[in-house]
Structure 1
């Protein structure tokens, strides 16, 4: 079983996990990763934080921030917010996302059996194609967010798109790779 929870990324001059938006979640911090320039990632177990706190984090730090909502290390939904309120989202590990988001037909008697049918696999293929169509806009949003954070991405949009379309065993690794690709400093304490 993989990690389920949140990876919260923001800039702060003090330890991010001590920010008031994490009040009550101190015992749920599993990782505190630091990068140059005050950029930090805090990993919180499921149920201890939610994306609705992102505006308060941006207000409190005065800098753009993002959060990856990770499900069993298989997939993640990344939501970023800049200081003007502009928001972007992107899914990580699109194959796993497609399997999760496929709607089960109403006439299915046994949901487990349906997972092994050609109809399920065709539905996943269609959902994956639908998700793929959003990738260019998601990449553009991520790049704009990084620029608003004061990072000057050297990667082309196609590199970010490639990362958003890539598959890795752990969504957490894709999240870190996304931050690296967007031009944020590399972690200093890993």
Structure 2
């Protein structure tokens, strides 16, 4: 089993875990939070266990408000897939999937008339549904790459204006989702620790 949980990325002059949005977590959860990656300039990634928050969007908004800087949150499922959401102070958010093949398989809609979901995953109908789900996810990649670049620019970085490298990361499959998250931040120009 791989990692399942949230990777929270933000910038702060003090410990990111001191953000009030994390203050409601039980102490044992706070103690178990891992400073997963520290980057120059006060950028940090914290790793939390899965399912801590009913509303991850509110957590992200609270972190952005407290830090007055862009932040993002990646919800990772068994190291296979991640949903990444980024937000800037007073600005729009963006969302992308990491490891789209796994995302398509995980979130393909099961028809109402299927009696055995496990058996359905080995049918040609399931395979066709995955192809359609993957295509739908892929259509959002160019807009997500552009939004991620704008988010990085709002963070004070000077990322390359070419979205192709970001699109490439968003279309990469087969790697652990946490590794793709790190690669995405690297590609957006965040300083590497």
Task: Give the TM-score range, shorter chain.
Answer: over 0.9
Aligned equivalent of 2:32: 28
Indicate conservation of the 8 Å contact 2:35/2:44, yes or no: no
Correspondent of 2:146 among 120, 140, 144: 140
Q: Does 1:37 align with 2:41?
A: yes
Q: Does 1:150 align with 2:156?
A: yes
Unmatched tracts of structure 2, length 5 or more: none
Once the two structures are superposed, the pairs formed by residues 1-190 of structure 1 within 5 Å of their partners are: 1-23=1-23, 24=25, 25-49=29-53, 50-154=56-160, 156-187=162-193
Residue 21 (structure 1) shift: 1.7
Going from structure 1 to structure 2, the CA distance change for 1:155 and 1:175 (only over 3 Å counts) comes to farther
Give SS of 2:165's match: helix
Give SS of 2:184's match: helix
TM norm structure 1:
0.94
4+ runs deviating over 3 angstroms = none
State how far apart, in whole Å, the 2-side matches of 1:129 and 1:143 are.
22
TM norm structure 2:
0.92
Residue 155 (structure 1) shift: 6.0
